[in-house]
Structure 1
Amino acid sequence: MRITCTYLPYQLRFRFEAGTSRGVLTEKKTWLIRLTVEAFPGREGWGECGPLRGLSPDDRPDFEARLHEICQNLSAVTYDPNNEAALLDALVPSEFPSIRFGLESALADWRNGGVRRIFDNAFSRGDAGLPINGLIWMGSAAFMREQMEQKLASGYNCLKMKIGAIDFEAECALLEEIRKNYSPDQITLRVDANGAFAPDQALARLQRLAQYELHSIEQPIRAGQVAEMAKLCAETPLPIALDEELIGVYGREAKARLLDQVRPQYVILKPTLVGGFRACREWIELAEARQIGWWITSALESNIGLNAIAQFTDEYDIHLPQGLGTGQLYHNNVQAPLTILQGFLHYDPQGTWQFPTAGPMPPA
């Protein structure tokens, strides 16, 4: 069976200036993959390749050229669903994790009937929602306070605040304000530094943040400082979650070596950045074997990628809120039957999808 693989570049536009310690985001380019087979008219599998600027291994000038080449190569081979993993390994180099994720999602969608059912579980059937954290983006103290109030009013019981861009004292004041009104039993607080702290200041800042009874902090220091991160994880008064540290780590032995050296309290898995579902499963197996907690997070994908990640997440018996609330970020997101209600992400399998049609998809 021959599959035709095409893709569509798509520019997502943020509803607001989304601040991180690495800068402010106003738009994001992504590439949507579509799979078809002539013998099955009307049946399409969709996936998304959305590398993050300045962070993804495949954020490189030749990205689209390589995506085009991979689509051509997929269209030229005989597709065997029983040999899918080997096919992806042969077609997609490790340093293109977002393409691996996009193709893996699109193949699963097509294989399961082309109805956006990537995995068959309670979430994809519309029988259960997934608990998620409410994301508070960096900005002025007033803007961050406004976001917090909106999330709390919407029923979230877990908030994640990005820190490291404005004055540290102002960020602590916002956390203190929440803690004066909500106990840890009422509201779980997470923070994400995106590597903003210098190693020589990180422990003192973690000690200060621990006063607010936080659940965890993501990536307090920049990735790649393995010895410093290991020391910090051993001494921290606040659980540390590795995020960017996992990017670019390929192969089971390398992943196990990183976890054994750093011994974090948590790892955060982003399929777009670590290489798709199979890579996430490997991280989960290794983390659980070492009693390291984990949760899954989207990486600013459109609803196509977000839906695939959410369905994968429900393959596990999760208890922690996941980072899957990014579907509300864009003016022009792909229309999808994903909704958030009282801090839970829900999917309606009978709902409507509407895919972009502006401009032809490049031929494979």
Structure 2
Amino acid sequence: MNIVNTEILEYKKAFISDTNLGVKKHSFRKGWYIKIFSNEHVGIGEAAPIPGISKESHAEAGYAIQGFMVALKDVDYSVSIDEMLLLAEVHGCNVPSAKFAMQAAVYSLFSQNSNKIISKFLNQESNDSIMINSIVHDNSRISIENSRVLKIKVSDSNIYDIKDMIEKIYNSYGEKLLRLDFNGGLDLSKAIRICKELESYNIEYIEQPVLLLDDLYELRMHSGIPIAVDEILLNYDTAEKIIKNAAADVFVIKPTLLGGFDDLKKVFQLANSEEIKIVITSAFETFIGQSFIGYLAAAIKTQSYCGIFNINLFENDHLYPSVKNSKLVLKDICGFNA
């Protein structure tokens, strides 16, 4: 394929309302879009490091993408996908959000050339659809009534308030399967007490209640509820450490933190070998980033409910695909290659 042009665009989009990225609330999301042009198609990707969690900064992600673009300008022949992925690997080394964006643009471009959606290009046996969890949020796109799996971000450590909140949800909507996300806001003793008190409820997992591996291990020894890690799962090495320390039952994976499809597959295969459940979720990227995450989730044939396209995040963002009865059909994602 002949590459005729590349573009990089920096963006800063205001959230409709202040939104948690990790433990802190933010009023906007910053990132970069990269576009790669052939004679017939345009591939696009998004890099949006998570403030306070990603190991690279916004500026470092942009610098890595610019280096990739400079390298492509020197390519004056028909380039293969393997060559482009190698360039993405080199320039995205230690900058996972940039690698995520560059791979998205490359796979977007070559999948169009093959007349396939990205998930089918990556894996012909990929899922045609993925399931999406609802979330308790003022701007939720999926009604709680129509969802079997409900995520709740919990900022209150008072067990009576937490139980009261769950009871109100059950009374209003029936007994949903709950995911409770504490964003590392508890200490070990409080986490043990809360898990003990909540064991009678229908809870799929408690997400990142504490941050330290030793505390997560100790909590698992005292809890009948599965424990999930999120913020501390940054790459394959941290996944191995979490497993070595017996610190989690569930991996909640944000592909922006890992890098490319190859990085996701490695962690997915490792988790499967240790019988650890995988849940794929966004880091509140825009439509471009969340679309690629959806394709990746389908390509690895996930069976878990995913956390994408379930909140209206930004003003005037009308590209989000419809999610019917918690199901997102991948071919319904339109405009990704615009």
Instruction: Sort the TM-score into its range (normalised by shorter chain).
Output: 0.7 to 0.9
- Distance apart, 1:195 and its partner CA: 0.6
CA 1:317 to 1:210, structure 2 compared with 1: closer, same or farther past 3 Å? same
One-letter code of the match for 2:209? P
CA deviation map 1:150-209 (0-9, x unaligned): 7224x112110001257554333111222345554xx21111111111123211122123
CA distance in structure 2 between the partners assigned to 1:55 and 1:216 by the alignment: 22
Q: 2:263: which partner in 1?
A: 279
Question: Residues 262-301 of structure 1, C-alpha deviation per residue, up to 9 Å, x if partnerless?
Answer: 2411101111111122111111100110111111111111
Distance in 1, Cα, partners of 2:90 & 2:122? 33
Query: Aligned partner of 1:164: which letter?
Result: S
Change in Cα spacing, 1:121 to 1:21, as seen in structure 2 (3 Å) is: closer
Aligned counterparts of 1:53 and 1:318: Cα–Cα separation in 2: 27
Q: CA deviation at 1:338?
A: 1.5
Q: How does 1:57-96 map to 2 (within 5 A)?
A: 57-59=55-57, 61-77=59-75, 79-94=79-94, 96=95
Q: What whole-Å deviation, never above 9, does each CA across 1:78-137 have from its counterpart, x for those lacking one? A: 74313444333222222x111010011110011112678322279999x94321111224
1:152 and 2:156 equivalent?
no
Q: CA deviation at 1:63?
A: 3.8
Alignment correspondent of 1:259? 243
Structure 2 residue identity aligned to 1:133:
N
Counterpart of 1:120 in structure 2: which amino acid?
K
2:119 aligned counterpart, secondary structure: coil
The one-letter code of the counterpart of 1:344 is K
TM-score (norm 2): 0.86
Gaps of 5+ in 2: none
User: Alignment partner of 1:177: what SS?
Assistant: helix
- 1:64 deviates by 2.7
Aligned pairs for 1:119-158 within 5 A: 119-120=119-120, 128-137=128-137, 151-153=143-145, 155-158=146-149
Q: Which amino acid aligns with 1:258?
A: I
Structure-2 residue corresponding to 1:178: 169
Give me the whole-angstrom Cα distance separating, in 1, the residues matched to 2:220 and 2:195: 11
Q: What is the correspondence of 1:202-217 to structure 2 with a 5 Å cutoff? A: 202-217=191-206
Q: How does 1:234-273 map to 2 (within 5 A)?
A: 234-247=221-234, 249-251=235-237, 255-273=239-257
Q: Return the letter of the residue paired with 2:292.
A: A
Query: Which whole-Å deviations, capped at 9, do the CAs of 1:227-252 have from their partners, x for residues lacking one?
Result: 222222233221011111211x345x
Q: Distance in 1 between matches of 2:13 and 2:171?
A: 37
Determine the structure 1 residue equivalent to 2:23.
Answer: 22
SS in 1 for 2:316: coil
Classify 1:28/1:290 alpha carbon distance in 2 versus 1 (closer, same or farther; 3 Å): same
1:49 corresponding residue in structure 2: 47
Aligned to 2:307: 323
Given that residues 140 and 310 in structure 2 are in contact (C-alpha distance below 8 angstroms), is that contact kept between their aligned partners in structure 1? no
Moved more, 100-109 or 116-125: 116-125
Q: Distance in 1 between matches of 2:215 and 2:157?
A: 24
Once the two structures are TM-superposed, the CA of residue 10 in structure 1 deviates from its matched residue by 1.7
- SS at 1:68 equivalent: helix
The CA distance in 1 between the partners of 2:254 and 2:296, in whole Å, is: 11
Q: 1:15 to 1:179 in 2, by over 3 A?
A: same
Question: Sequence identity, in percent?
Answer: 22
Q: How big is the shift at 1:8? A: 0.7
**Is the 8 Å Cα contact of residues 67 and 91 (structure 2) preserved in structure 1?**
no
Preserved contact between residue 21 and residue 196 of structure 1 (Cα < 8 Å): no
Contact kept, 8 Å, 2:21 with 2:283, in 1: the verdict is no
In structure 2, the CA distance between the partners of 1:347 and 1:290, relative to structure 1 (3 Å rule), is closer
May I ask how many residue pairs the two structures share in their alignment?
A: 334
CA distance in 2, matches of 1:134, 1:121: 28
1:118 equivalent in alignment to 2:118: yes
Conserved in 2, the CA contact under 8 Å of 1:131 and 1:322? yes
Residue identity in the other structure for 2:35: R
TM-score normalised by structure 1 residue count: 0.81
Corresponding residue of 1:101: 100
**Cα distance between partner residues in 2 of 1:107 and 1:267:** 27
